[in-house]
Chain A
């Protein structure tokens, strides 16, 4: 019995369990798992266009997942990546539609503005926690709603594009679009930016004094405090940086994919990204792998819905199940260590 449990608690066991659960979901939806899976994988990886879409989803998930990784490693439960992503996109979209600079300068500026927008949003929650001891969980969660309605208000009024029919900014001129990475797909070089941030983040965690402090606070807050770390500074800084990384993601969606800002920027990437970060074990490099896995589900799910009649909601069901499996894995691992 114990052997079965420990096999199941390994990564292979988790994958096996997820496949079984997915098959069940497909059977419930009235499709044979073989049809379902082949639709899923063909839809996600079956051609250049499919791969491109998968990597677009990967990119959109990776930014908020890396931001969440940073905050979680500092022991801060940032569940406001969705709002931070949105604010980053808003900053980039509003400015991008309004000014005209040399393309390289402007694109760089827009990505940085994304960081500023997301950073401010994360920083507000950080300041509330550092200054007043507010729970960052509540603060970041609530700021998601503030961001959504603030953005909607702004793009319905002052920031609304002159020719726009709905609530959105004016379009960016094509020279300010992020260059394409994979020709004839929607995949932009945003993916490269995300991967670069992952590498930098891993370096910061393992090699820098700041990363050392951050991990110390996350692992053992009392020992960290006694070691002379300024907890308040680290708290607001971590949440601001966490938001900034998510915010760049918003700017990448605006400049690379939508080419304008509207509030349909994210179908909940900021929430799915929590699962991505946890599946990646809060290690930036594994988070990249996890984001690709979730990218397959996101992009393949649409194809599965079209060709195998499995509703896309089944994918969200599966994402939820993955989190449950992971939680169970940790529990089983902890139990076997004790025994």
Chain B
């Protein structure tokens, strides 16, 4: 599709440094009309910085950006006004006017026409904060499309989407490309790259290390280029002996006790139990009840004095103190343990040792142990959270989307560590929206739908299609 066509976006010799790191190192990149170009790489490889430079949000230290036409950027974290309606968000700042008032009728018609033209179904009057994430993204996309960009940049667009939403999202993107928009997707989901992209550029340590056509490569090849070698092998599943560890019976909890409605299951030591399901079916209330942070009705039994490692769903709000260093965060939730204190004092030697261990074992990319956590990339923050949850060899682990937002290399590492913990006798409850993750790790799989467990499978007897149907509530 490039052939004789002229590139609409031309990046030349782009370099951008931040204190202590070269984020983008002499990169050239061009984008042609009608192509879907995937920019892949590990966390901190420089993809998002490059996208921000292309968009004009970040100024490079040197190099030139040439764009023919408007550039649109859909952020990884949506930037929407939640208390406003869909049409208000789409037209924010460009509302049609009649005198000094907003012409609501014209705005309405405009948004409906825009949505239809792009094959995106939407209710223009819905309040944005009442919509599921998939639809919110549609709002964000519509807002960008309304500016009729020649170039559309999408930063980790599918990070928060359910499988069905991902398929419809890519249908939209493919249609846009067919009509001539140049599209660049920043991602680390290689399956999506292989399925939908035309060209792929792989970034590592700020530079582009491989450029190829999607049809001429494979997921494994891209993964190797991203990590600069072979992926760390996921630890093998070892034979374990089981003893009861966590027993949950007839659990009700969450908003009006309706998020979780009568859930019963057991996790034994030496096994990983996976909870599969689409986001919003009671998983977060289940995790909160197990963490003891919301009231519940029913039974949660675990051995007295069991050490519990928890990986919460929202790392910045629930697991880390963003303004603190890695060292200080390394003992959060462990500050009362004998290892972390000497009487009433914090044991600073152990705290630093543990932080170093987390950084080394999980390959946290940071200038120093004293770096503020909010300045790490999302993936590296997640590695700190996972490393801390597993550092005390817990006998029970509750992991909520443990690899969310982290790249293939780090994901494999985290999954490996969970498997090792299981092999060493930990009971692991894995709540994940990534079905593949559950299929590869879990010994037993439970499917959660609307607050109840609607199916249970042993590892040996898994039927993927059946699980998919149960997740969607059609079985």
Q: Which residues of A contact B (CB under 8 A)?
A: 207-210, 212-213, 215-216, 219-220, 222-228
| In contact, B332 and A223 (Cβ under 8 angstroms) | yes
Find B317's partner among A209, A210, A222, A228 (CB 8 Å cutoff): A222
Q: A219-B323, A225-B293, A226-B310 are in contact. Are A212 and B318 (CB under 8 A)?
A: no
Whether the Cβ atoms of B321 and A216 lie closer than 8 Å is: yes
Q: Which residues of A contact B348 (CB under 8 A)?
A: 207
Q: How far is the CA of A208 from the CA of B346 in the complex (A)?
A: 5
Contact A212 B335, beta carbon cutoff 8 Å: yes
A-side contacts of B344, CB under 8 Å: 208-210
- Min CB distance B320 to A, Å, is 6
**Is B41 close to A, CB under 8 A?**
no
CA distance A212 to B336 in the complex (A): 11
Instruction: Give chain B's interface residues, CB within 8 Å of chain A.
Output: 291, 293, 310, 312, 317-324, 328, 331-333, 335-336, 340-341, 344-346, 348
Q: With A219-B323, A219-B324, A220-B321 given, is the CB distance from A227 to B332 under 8 Å?
A: yes
Residues of B within 8 A of A227 (CB): 332-333, 335
Please judge, given known A-B contacts A219-B321, A226-B310, whether A209 and B293 are in contact too, CB under 8 Å.
no
Inter-chain contact A223/B318, CB cutoff 8 Å: yes
Residues of A within 8 A of B340 (CB): 209
Q: Contact between A226 and B336 (Cβ–Cβ < 8 Å)?
A: no
CA distance A208 to B335 in the complex (A): 10
The residue among A219, A220, A222 with the most chain B CB atoms within 10 A of its own CB is: A220
List of A residues within 8 angstroms of B322 by Cβ: 219-220
A-chain residues with CB within 8 Å of residue B332 when the two chains form the complex: 216, 223-224, 227
Shortest CB-to-CB span from B188 to chain A, Å, is 26
Residues of chain B lying within 8 A (CB to CB) of residue A219: 321-324
Chain B proximity of A199: nearest CB distance (Å): 15
Residues of A within 8 A of B319 (CB): 223, 226
| B333 A212 Cβ-Cβ under 8 A | no
Tell me the bound Cα distance from A228 to B318 in angstroms. 12
B interface, by DSSP: helix, strand, loop or mixed? Answer: loop
Closest to A229 in B: B335
A215 vs B346: C-alpha distance when bound (angstroms) = 13
Are A223 and B346 closer than 8 Å at their CB atoms?
Answer: no
Q: How far is the CB of A333 from chain B (nearest CB, A)?
A: 14
A207: chain B residues within 8 A (beta carbon): 345-346, 348
Instruction: Contact check, A209 vs B318: say whether CB atoms are below 8 A apart.
Output: no
Is A226 within 8 A of B324, CB to CB?
Answer: no
Who on chain A is nearest to B324 by CB? A219
A79 to B321, CA, bound (A): 26
- Cross-chain contact B346 with A209 (CB below 8 angstroms): yes
Q: A220-B317, A226-B333 are in contact. List 15 more A-B contacts (CB 8 A).
A: A208-B344, A208-B345, A209-B335, A209-B340, A212-B335, A213-B335, A216-B332, A219-B321, A220-B322, A220-B323, A223-B317, A223-B321, A223-B332, A226-B291, A226-B319
Docked CA distance A209–B328 (Å):
11
Q: A69 to chain B: closest CB distance in Å?
A: 17
7 contacts between A and B (CB under 8 A): A207-B346, A208-B345, A210-B344, A219-B324, A223-B318, A225-B293, A227-B333
A213 to B345, CA, bound (A): 12
Whole-angstrom distance from the CB of B253 to the nearest CB of chain A? 16
Q: A222 contacts which of B318, B324, B333, B335 (Cβ < 8 Å)?
A: B318
> What residues of chain B lie closer than 8 Å to A215, measured between beta carbons?
321
- List the 9 closest pairs (A to B, CB-CB), nearest first: A227-B333, A220-B321, A219-B321, A227-B332, A209-B341, A208-B344, A222-B317, A207-B345, A226-B318
- The closest CB in chain B to the CB of A210 belongs to B344
Please name the residue on chain A nearest to B317 by beta carbon.
A222
Main SS class of interface, A: helix
Closest CB of chain B to A287's CB: distance in Å? 19
Give Cα distance in the complex from A207 to B346, angstroms: 6
Docked pose: A161 CA to B383 CA in angstroms: 67
The interface residues of chain A lying within 8 Å CB-to-CB of B323 are 219-220
Q: How far is the CA of A208 from the CA of B348 in the complex (A)?
A: 10
Q: Which of A209, A210, A228 contacts B333 (CB 8 A)?
A: A228
CB-CB < 8 A to A225: which residues of B? 293
Question: Contact between B346 and A212 (Cβ–Cβ < 8 Å)?
Answer: yes
Q: Give the complex CA separation of A228 and B312 in angstroms.
A: 13
**Smallest CB separation, A221 vs chain B (Å):** 10
Chain A nearest CB from B336 CB (Å) reads 7
Min C-beta distance of B128 to chain A, whole Å: 23
Please indicate the chain A residues that have their CB under 8 angstroms from the CB of B341 in the complex: 209
A210 to B345, CA, bound (A): 8
Asked if A223 and B320 make an inter-chain contact with CB atoms under 8 angstroms apart, the answer reads yes
- A220 and B324 CA atoms in complex are apart in Å by 10
A226–B335 touching, CB < 8 Å: no
In the complex, what residues of A have CB within 8 A of residue B318's CB? Answer: 222-223, 226
Nearest CB in chain B: distance from A217 CB, A: 10
Report the bound CA distance from A210 to B340 in whole Å: 13
Question: Nearest Cβ in chain A — how far from B122, in angstroms?
Answer: 31
A209: which of B291, B312, B320, B345 is its contact (CB, 8 Å)? B345
Residue in A212, A223, A224 whose Cβ sees the most chain B Cβ within 10 Å: A223
CB contacts (< 8 Å) of A216 on chain B: these are 321, 332
Tell me the minimal C-beta distance from A100 to chain B in angstroms: 37
User: Do A226 and B321 have beta carbons less than 8 Å apart?
Assistant: no
Q: Closest chain A residue to B310 by CB distance?
A: A226
Q: Bound state CA distance, A213 and B348, in angstroms?
A: 15
**Cα A216 to Cα B312 with chains together (Å):** 17
Complex Cα distance, B334 from A213, in Å, reads 11
Closest CB in chain A relative to B354 CB, distance in Å: 14
B320 to A, closest residue via Cβ: A223
Distance, CA A219 to CA B324, complexed state (A)? 9
Which of B310, B312, B321, B348 has the most chain A CB atoms closer than 10 A to its own CB? B321
- Docked pose: A212 CA to B340 CA in angstroms: 12
Distance A209 CA – B322 CA, assembled complex (angstroms):
19
Contact, CB under 8 Å: B312 / A226: yes
With the chains together, A209 CA to B323 CA distance in Å? 18
Centre residue among A210, A222, A224 by max chain B CB count within 10 A:
A222
**Interfacial chain B residues near A222, Cβ < 8 Å:** 317-318
A74–B335 Cα gap in the complex (Å)?
A: 17
Contacts of B320 in A (CB 8 A): 220, 223
Question: Which residue on B lies nearest to A204, using beta carbons?
Answer: B344
A226 lies within 8 A of B346 (CB):
no
Contacts of B345 in A (CB 8 A): 207-209
Closest A residue to B334 using CB positions: A227
A215 to B324, alpha carbons, bound, how many Å?
A: 10
Give bound CA distance, A223 to B312, whole Å: 10
User: What residues of chain B lie closer than 8 Å to A210, measured between beta carbons?
Assistant: 344
Closest to A206 in B: B346
Residues of B within 8 A of A226 (CB): 291, 293, 310, 312, 318-319, 333
Of all chain B residues, which has the CB nearest A228? B333
CB neighbours (8 Å) of A224 from chain B are 321, 332
The complex places the Cα of A334 from the Cα of B293 at a distance, in Å, of 33
User: What CA separation (Å) do A212 and B328 show in the bound complex?
Assistant: 9
Interchain nearest-CB distance for B344 vs A (Å): 5
Chain B's nearest CB lies how many Å from the CB of A285? 19
Q: In the complex, A223→B348 CA distance in Å?
A: 20
Chain B residue nearest in CB terms to A225? B293
